[in-house]
């Protein structure tokens, strides 16, 4: 074979190999994105639809009475509770699962359970964490097998996300958006709101999520749990005469 022909053949082989590598990388990224969307979906069978996280009690107390109130209340909850507690837990737990640091996983799980300020909020994170691990047993048994003890929801969610080829920011934004969708659906039923109003509230929350995620990613302190009004409303909700939600 003439030298020119041999060179052309080698060049074609290298180009094909490079294209194949790019395709595999893109496929991995796409699969991870789809997995994150799946984890964030309200259709995930973990029971998120049955909780309002104090919103129903706020409606009963007259603190939330319409679309504007719902957007204000949920945005405040996003920044004051999710950004300071759940999101930092998810961030740190993903890193701990990836590092195989079971001691850190245990510490984060214990903190999350210890700082739930009412029995219904603790039951929520326990039940959703348990249900998520059960779901993992059905779809990713090898991942579920890594859970050495009952996990709270953010730590269980971090376990599911730890094996994905995704950046921490993407994982936290997915977690936060899943929370926002569940909470908006709770507002639609509890306030109540129309579907269009609910979508406007969701758009408001989506616009707030990047800042909440940035706060969680850059926090130099350990997660914080201090939301006394929410705790009082949750305690009242436990004895509320008529209710739709479990929290």
pLDDT in tens, 152-184: 999 999 999 999 999 999 999 999 999 999 999
Q: How far is the first Cα of the chain from the last one, in angstroms, to the nearest whole number? A: 77
Which percentage of the chain shows pLDDT scores above 70? 89
Residue 157 is assigned to a structural domain of this protein: yes
Q: What CATH number did the domain enclosing 49 receive? A: 1.10.4190.10
Residue 247 is assigned to a structural domain of this protein: no
Residue 243 is assigned to a structural domain of this protein: no
Residue 200 CA: distances (Å) to CA of 147, 181, 193: 38, 12, 10
Identify whether the C-beta of residue 111 lies closer than 8 Å to the C-beta of residue 150: no
Residue 89 is assigned to a structural domain of this protein: yes
Per-residue pLDDT tens over the stretch 19-48: 333 333 344 778 888 999 999 998 899 999
Number of H helices, E strands in the chain: 11, 0
**177 is in which domain, residue-wise?**
3-237
Which percentage of the chain shows pLDDT scores above 90? 79
Residue 246 is assigned to a structural domain of this protein: no
Residue 50 CA: distances (Å) to CA of 15, 57, 173, 183, 191: 53, 14, 22, 10, 15
Across 18-27, 58-67, 72-81, 94-103, least confident range: 18-27
Instruction: Report the alpha-carbon distance of residue 15 to residue 12 in Å, rounded.
Output: 5
Predicted pLDDT of residue 222: 86
The values of phi and psi at residue 25, to 5°, are: -65, -45
Residue 92 is assigned to a structural domain of this protein: yes
194 Cβ neighbours under 8 A, 6+ residues apart: 188
The pLDDT mean for the chain works out to 89
Residue 244 is assigned to a structural domain of this protein: no
Confidence of residue 150 (pLDDT cuts 50, 70, 90): very high
What's the whole-model pTM score? 0.88
Looking up tokens 């929350």 gives 205
Predicted pLDDT of residue 127: 98
Identify whether the C-beta of residue 24 lies closer than 8 Å to the C-beta of residue 200: no
Predicted pLDDT of residue 117: 92
Residue 193 is assigned to a structural domain of this protein: yes
Confidence of residue 56 (pLDDT cuts 50, 70, 90): very high
Instruction: Report the alpha-carbon distance of residue 203 to residue 109 in Å, rounded.
Output: 31
| Tally of domains in the chain | 1
> Span 96-121, mean pLDDT?
97
Predicted pLDDT of residue 30: 81
């Amino acid at each position: 074979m003439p030298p020119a022909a041999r060179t052309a053949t080698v060049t074609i082989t290298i180009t094909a190999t490079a294209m194949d590598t790019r395709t595999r990388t893109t496929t991995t990224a796409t699969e991870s994105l789809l997995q994150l969307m799946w984890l964030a979906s309200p259709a995930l069978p973990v029971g998120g639809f049955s909780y309002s996280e104090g919103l129903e009690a706020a409606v009963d107390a007259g603190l939330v009475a319409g679309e504007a109130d719902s957007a204000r209340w949920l945005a405040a909850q996003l920044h004051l509770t999710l950004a300071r507690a759940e999101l930092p837990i998810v961030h740190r737990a993903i890193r701990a699962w990836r590092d195989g640091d079971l001691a850190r996983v245990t510490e984060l799980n214990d903190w999350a359970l210890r700082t739930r300020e009412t029995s219904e909020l603790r039951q929520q994170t326990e039940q959703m964490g348990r249900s998520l691990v059960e779901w993992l047993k059905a779809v990713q048994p090898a991942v579920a097998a890594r859970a050495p003890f009952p996990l709270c929801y953010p730590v269980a969610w971090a376990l599911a996300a730890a094996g994905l080829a995704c950046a921490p920011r993407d994982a936290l934004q997915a977690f936060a958006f899943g929370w926002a969708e569940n909470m908006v659906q709770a507002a639609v039923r509890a306030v109540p709101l129309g579907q269009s109003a609910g979508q406007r509230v969701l758009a408001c929350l989506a616009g707030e999520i990047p800042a909440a995620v940035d706060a969680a990613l850059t926090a130099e302190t350990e997660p914080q749990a201090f939301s006394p009004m929410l705790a009082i409303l949750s305690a009242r909700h436990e004895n509320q005469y008529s209710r739709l939600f479990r929290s």
